Amino acid sequence: MSDNIADWEIVRFHDRAATKEVSSVAEEYPITIIINGEEFATMVCSPEHVEELIVGFLASEGVIFQYKAIQQLTVDVVAGFAYLEIEKLPDTYQEDHSKRFIGSCCGKSRQFYFKNDVKTAKTIMSNLSLSCNQCLQLMTQLQQASNQFRQTGGVHNAALATVNDVQLIRTDIGRHNALDKLYGHMLMNQTSVRDKVIVFSGRVSSEVLLKIAKMRISILISKSAPTKLALELAEDLGITVIGFVRKGAMNVYTHHDRVKEITYAKKR
């Protein structure tokens, strides 16, 4: 198997019969981030595109604002450590900093949540639009490319796309990690986001919404559901949230004007 998928012997019960089989399961590894010789956080993640994950995570946390802020980055996935040298840390870094463990699920374990977000999540002004059919096609493209999910059922996927095509997909056991990997790639490659949307497999929480805002993305397309706080933030920050994109249907929750070809059924 790959570094991200492992074999595990199981006993499968079906129609009152039991059989021994080999099943595919997702791998997860802890990575401890060391910044300027001090432990910053330990993350649990899928062991691929780890450099992108770290860059995106630190940008999400407000530790860096550009990739060039990192003078040196060394990752040892086997040992479970990432070493960074950052010359200029934010003024509030020392007072906010403490060791943290960030699991593969979500939650409010990210200590800077909302505090640094005020500085980095800005209102997005964009004329980008797409059709209902383009939304559905992008989700279909993401699902067709989601090989690890089909094998394990245990990962999330996030994609950077134009309104016509998925261009880059990142996968992780954590939905926030998958987005951070995209964010890291964008920063490392100075990707223009003017014509980009995010296609996502996970639930749209307030923290997910804020990550999208920091990426400066105006449209988020998700297979899953949003939360009320996420939608309130999306309204304020100028982000179109489209959820439950599946089986030929979808819900447009905020800034509906970016989705074209919407016609409303007449009430009987």
The runs of H, that is alpha helices, within 121-174 are 132-144, 147-152
Return the amino acid letter for 125: M
Neighbouring C-beta atoms of residue 2, cutoff 10 Å: 12
Out of 45, 105, 106, 132, the active site residue is 106
The runs of H, that is alpha helices, within 189-237 are 206-215, 228-237
∠42-46-49 over CA atoms, to 5°? Answer: 95
β-pair type (29-35, 81-86): parallel
Q: Which among 226, 260, 220 has a CA at the least distance from the CA of 240? A: 220
Q: Which residues pair with 10 in a beta bridge?
A: 21
The alpha-carbon radius of gyration of the chain (Å, integer) is 20
Residues 201, 224 contacting (CB under 8 angstroms)? yes
DSSP 68-116: GGEEEEEEETTTTEEEEEESS--TTHHHH----EE-SS-SS--TTTTTT
β-pair type (156-161, 197-200): antiparallel
> Is 132 labeled as catalytic in the residue annotation?
no
Q: Which among 257, 124, 92 has a CA at the least distance from the CA of 198? A: 124
Give me the sign of the Cα torsion angle 191, 193, 197, 201. Answer: positive
Q: Looking at the annotation, which residues are catalytic?
A: 106
